[in-house]
Amino acid sequence: MITVLFFAKQQEQLGLEKLERSESQLAVSELKQKLIADYPELTLAHTMTAINEEYAEEDQVINDRDVVAFIPPVSGG
């Protein structure tokens, strides 16, 4: 079981802050594909990914009990 956290726009798109998913032992890119398939309204383009509060690459493997966060781009002035 993994925990997936969403922020800002993704929270608005899904109407929730986090999901519990049974997937593990898959790459970040694979998780993104599964989430977009399950939630077509979800936009994950241009997001950074963190696993257990450490930035992660698209090919990094997610393990059981990991916390995955999708962090949207920040803008401001």
Q: Show me where the domains of the chain are located.
A: 2-71
Q: Which CATH number fits domain 2-71: 3.90.1150.10, 3.40.1400.10, 3.60.40.10, 3.10.20.30?
A: 3.10.20.30
Q: Is 40 exposed, middle or buried (0-12, 13-18, 19+ CB in 10 A)?
A: exposed
Is pLDDT at 71 greater than 80 in this prediction? yes
Query: Which pLDDT score, from 0 to 100, does residue 23 have?
Result: 86
Q: Cα separation of 61 and 29, whole Å? A: 9
Query: Which pLDDT score, from 0 to 100, does residue 75 have?
Result: 64
Q: Cα separation of 67 and 4, whole Å? A: 6
Is pLDDT at 7 greater than 60 in this prediction? yes
